[in-house]
């Protein structure tokens, strides 16, 4: 008999794919044991109570401060003593002297042997700051004064220049200076200082301020005695006032307190003016 083939082995079962090892992940470590809920609640309650106590203290402090009376004001300083001259602000136009506000003796003493009729009795007067021309109109140190003008013409000329006629008080303060002297240059008459009658009682001619350099007041205002009489704003007995005397008038007429009242329309070769204005 033919040889018999060996029996065929059954096929092996399919092999399963190898299983990959499990992958390790970065897992969080296990949480620490939590504290008890009761302990946590007690701590939170204590913190809340502390915050409430702080807020209460702050409110009580604010309420106490609002009820506290304000501190008394500091003691006031002693008032400053009054001085004769008070400096005020503001400057003067060119060609004018500034006279600061202050007090001076206006008028003349009844005991003055040179006192004339119509003069004002001496009395203290307060004057505001003002500006006054250094020289008689046309206000130049090398010019003779402009004369032959009435009161109205003098007033108009000052106003055209943006100024005004001086008041009698202003004019006299500028003349008497800081010491309220009788003449611009002092208390004793000197016929050679200003352009008045000379020592023999003879009239002089009008002159330039340069010809009488010492004829100035303590405020450095020139020719306030002699040369040309000067119109001021003031009226007296229905007339207008002239100040300063003139080149043809005697000693008593050149005192700062001397005054002469004439009709406003009066003109003369020895009547002039100067101007004033407020500081700017």
- Side by side, which strands form the sheet with 101-106? 85-86, 101-106, 123-127
pLDDT of residue 140: 96
What pLDDT is attached to residue 85? 37
Distance, in Å, from the CA atom of 188 to the CA atom of 196, rounded to the nearest integer, reads 14
pLDDT at 75: 43
DSSP state of 230: E
pLDDT digits (tens, 9 = 90+) for 4-59: 444 444 444 444 444 444 444 444 444 444 557 777 777 777 777 777 767 777 77
φ/ψ of 168, rounded to 5, equals -65, -40
- Spatial separation of the C-alpha atoms in residues 78 and 185, rounded to whole Å: 37
- The tokens describing 88, both together, are 């005020």
Residue 221 structure tokens: 């205002």
Pair type for strands 229-236 and 271-273: parallel
**What string of DSSP letters covers 79-121?**
PPPP-SEE-----PPTTEEEE-EEEEEESB-TT-TT--TTPPB
CA distance 68 to 45: 35
Which residues of the chain register pLDDT less than 70?
Answer: 1-35, 53, 60-89
Tokens of 275: 């101007």
The pLDDT value recorded for residue 187 is 96
**If phi over 0 gives left and psi between -120 and 50 gives alpha, with beta otherwise, what is residue 61?**
alpha
For the question of whether the overall pTM of this predicted structure is more than 0.85, the answer is no
Sign of CA dihedral 239, 242, 247, 250: positive
- Cα separation of 60 and 63, whole Å? 5
């Amino acid at each position: 008999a033919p040889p018999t083939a060996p029996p065929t082995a059954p096929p092996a079962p399919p092999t399963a794919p190898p299983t990959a090892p499990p992958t390790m992940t970065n897992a969080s470590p296990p949480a620490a044991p939590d504290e008890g809920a009761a302990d946590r609640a007690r701590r939170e309650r204590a913190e809340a109570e502390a915050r409430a106590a702080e807020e209460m203290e702050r409110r009580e402090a604010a309420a106490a401060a609002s009820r506290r009376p304000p501190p008394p004001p500091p003691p006031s300083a002693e008032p400053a003593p009054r001085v004769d001259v008070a400096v005020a602000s503001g400057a003067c136009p060119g060609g004018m002297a500034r006279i600061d506000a202050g007090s001076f003796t206006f008028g003349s003493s009844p005991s003055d042997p040179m006192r004339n009729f119509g003069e004002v009795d001496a009395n203290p007067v307060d004057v505001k700051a003002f500006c006054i021309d250094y020289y008689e109109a046309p206000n130049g140190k090398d010019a003779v004064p402009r004369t032959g003008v009435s009161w109205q013409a003098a007033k108009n000329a000052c106003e055209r220049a943006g100024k005004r006629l001086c008041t009698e008080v202003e004019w006299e303060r500028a003349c008497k200076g800081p010491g309220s002297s009788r003449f611009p240059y002092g208390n004793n008459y000197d016929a050679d200082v200003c352009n008045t009658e000379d020592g023999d009682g003879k009239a002089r001619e009008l002159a330039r301020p340069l010809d009488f350099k010492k004829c100035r007041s303590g405020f450095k205002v020139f020719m306030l005695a002699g040369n040309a009489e000067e119109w001021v704003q003031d009226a007296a007995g229905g007339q207008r006032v002239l100040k300063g005397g003139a080149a043809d008038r005697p000693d008593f007429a050149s005192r700062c307190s001397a005054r002469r009242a004439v009709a406003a329309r009066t003109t003369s070769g020895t009547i002039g003016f100067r101007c004033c204005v407020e500081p700017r």
